[in-house]
Structure 1
Amino acid sequence: MTDDPWVPPVVLLAVDLVILTLRESRLHVLLVERGIDPYKGSLALPGGFLQHDGEDITAAAHRELSEEADLDVEALSLEQFGVYGEPGRDPRGRVVSVAYLAIAPRLPEPSAGTDAADAGWQSADSVLLGDLELAFDHRRIIADGVERARVKLEHSALATAFCGPTFTITDLQDVYEAVWGISLDPRNFYRKVQKTEGFIVPAGTARKAATGRPARLFRSGPCTVLRPPMTRPAEAASVKE
């Protein structure tokens, strides 16, 4: 036996932010170019360490997003979706990171600040397929964040926020295809949308088409939770990035 007092391990707490948006009908993720070591010059998620013991974790996430990408944090709703703390994930020591997700339409071009040399939107597909080299374990965090966003589209009316005030069923399908990363059968999609009560409602007008009949216009309905949900095709939902 030893009478030596127990000394707690040194653990650093950080935040990482997965910010997603649609650009040119494709899902994009916000990445920064690290301006400091480790991984100087590599792409990474915006984020960083808590500044002091009294700083709230969510407040730190908002601060880092503002400092590293100069985005309006008030316009984003951050949702905590994961904690990452495997030994060796950061060469600076034992670092536990709390990950946050935000997915929002029409986000502007970011600008770098503090320890980020650059900031910009990158194709989520390029990240998930490994076409871009990322620092730390950020590809895994992004994959988890993208999957969380895909599930949100199944169970909430979030997709309508990426359309205009009025939109066609095809416009809505484009959003689902971009976030889910798959092609959908138009007839099946139309049936699912119409079966989900309160998801969308007729706008009372139609959009003229170059050929064929004018497309019916809709607007977002009163429901925020979809019952039944807009579930992905089974073969797509089972694919692991």
Structure 2
Amino acid sequence: MKIEKNILITLIFVIGFITIIPFIIIIGMKWQWTSFAYGSADGWLGFWGGYIGAIIGALAAGFIAYYVAHKQIHLQVDKEDLRARKFLGTQLRIDKFSEIYSVLSEMGRNFAESDMLIFTYHFKEPMELYVLRDKQREYQDKDLSSIRNINSLFPFVPDLKNDIDNMMEIYHERNRFIYKHYIHRKDPSKKVSDSIYEDYSRKSDELMIVLHVILTDISNKLSHEIDKLEKGIN
């Protein structure tokens, strides 16, 4: 606003200068102390016309050059500012996508360890139920902590909330299955049947597949943002 005000004042000054100078010249040529100058009035009018015209032309050229340079600088600043904002936005998304991918990968490891615990309990080593219960509770605490971290990142990936909600629905079904058929089964003295384990395994596989799809999507988004950063942000 300040620069535009200065341009307006300069323009008014130039217009006033152009308007007033001819009257000053006409009056000046009638002064007694200018009578020593040789030449006719028409000749002097022509001289002053060319002289003042050259000054006005120079001022106009300077004004135009200043205005064009100012506009170019302003446009360049806006362009660089926009580029900087895009760069920061891309960098922020890369950081958040990386964080989401890391948290989900950690959840995947917890899922796999939990599965291995059930597999070991079912097929290999005898294990007290309280050990199984405590281990499963430990994995669940880690998973819920991871989910709380991911919830804060939903604004950066609009479709992530629905994907996580679907995954957690399967996750809770899987956990209820573990508690019902393993930890809190009616007769702990009896071995869990292989068919029960197969049902659990299918539910666990479904959970891992959903998680893999989410991780793939986040990985693709992350790769896209990194490509933008490497190629330059337009």
TM-score range, shorter chain: under 0.3
Name the larger-Rg structure.
Answer: 2
TM-score (norm 2): 0.23
The structure where helix makes up a greater share of residues is 2
TM-score (norm 1): 0.22
